[in-house]
Amino acid sequence: MTFAPLQARAAACVLAASLLACPATHAGRPMTVDDAAIAAPGRCQLETYALHADHLAEYWATPACNVGGDWELALGGAWADDTAGPRSQTTHHFRLQAKTVFKPLETNGWGLGLVLADYFRAGRGGDGDLSINVPLSISLRDDAVLLHLNAGMMHAETGRRHHATWGGGAQFRLDERHSLTAEVYGRQHSGSNYQFGIARALIPDRLQLDATWGQRLARGGGEPVATVGLVFQSR
């Protein structure tokens, strides 16, 4: 195997880690930065999306439910195909997440939450990247604009190192069915990314279609990433 394919594979792996671990958690689609909100008691949702980034393709499905009223528990799984190098490599990834809210977000107010997560690959048991994240959300103009700020820490399984994580983003409601998002997020020692998104409620409060585009926040950019997703919500 030549050095060039090794470089490409390493870049793909770094990009995947940036997308999945930089902010330590991810909010509801289409944002990567998390918010200070959980599903209502007794309600569940299913997030699905396809990601394409150069030689990397991923397909995720993540069901989440409110358990007992105070915690939202999620278990996500993904099939990933890395075509860098002479032969493609297929792996399976999983994510366990528990999220709670200390202060619920109110209209024209603010909210504060806590997210605990474990991201790991198949064949390694639960030995993966552990993270903790504190999302702060602020509502402006009667929820027409929502701001989200994240601060956290991640313990990476690779290298056994600790990394500070951060993120900031905004949601802009255009009308009852459409919204736009803009965000930037990063992880210590791994650089930063920015991302823009759009969402359309096909069935209000039940079914959403969304898409994002982003890349690394560096001189000249590079490593563009695109996703398309669907979100299903129970009544």
- Tell me what pLDDT residue 55 has: 86
What is the torsional sign of CA 220, 222, 228, 233? negative
Q: How many CB atoms lie within 10 A of CB 70?
A: 10
Q: Which residue has the higher pLDDT, 100 or 88?
A: 100
- Tell me what pLDDT residue 23 has: 41
Tokens of 103: 């202060």
**Residue 1 pLDDT more than 60?**
no
- Report how far residue 199's alpha carbon sits from residue 211's, in angstroms, rounded to the nearest whole number: 7
Residue closest to 186 by CA, chosen among 172, 199, 167, 202: 167
- Tell me what pLDDT residue 223 has: 83
Mean of the per-residue pLDDT values of the chain? 87
The three-state secondary structure class of 140 is strand
The three-state secondary structure class of 109 is coil
Q: How confident is the model at residue 59 (pLDDT cuts 50, 70, 90)?
A: very high
- Lowest-confidence range among 24-38, 47-61, 129-143? 24-38
Q: How confident is the model at residue 12 (pLDDT cuts 50, 70, 90)?
A: very low
- Report how far residue 196's alpha carbon sits from residue 184's, in angstroms, rounded to the nearest whole number: 9
CATH class of segment(s) 3-233: mainly beta
The three-state secondary structure class of 87 is coil
Residues 6+ apart with CB under 8 A from 7: none
| pLDDT, tens digit (0-9, with 9 covering 90-100), for 159-180 | 678 999 999 999 999 999 999 9
**Residue 137 pLDDT more than 70?**
yes
pTM: 0.85
Q: How confident is the model at residue 89 (pLDDT cuts 50, 70, 90)?
A: confident
Q: How many CB atoms lie within 10 A of CB 174?
A: 12
**Residue 3 pLDDT more than 70?**
no
- Report how far residue 142's alpha carbon sits from residue 115's, in angstroms, rounded to the nearest whole number: 26
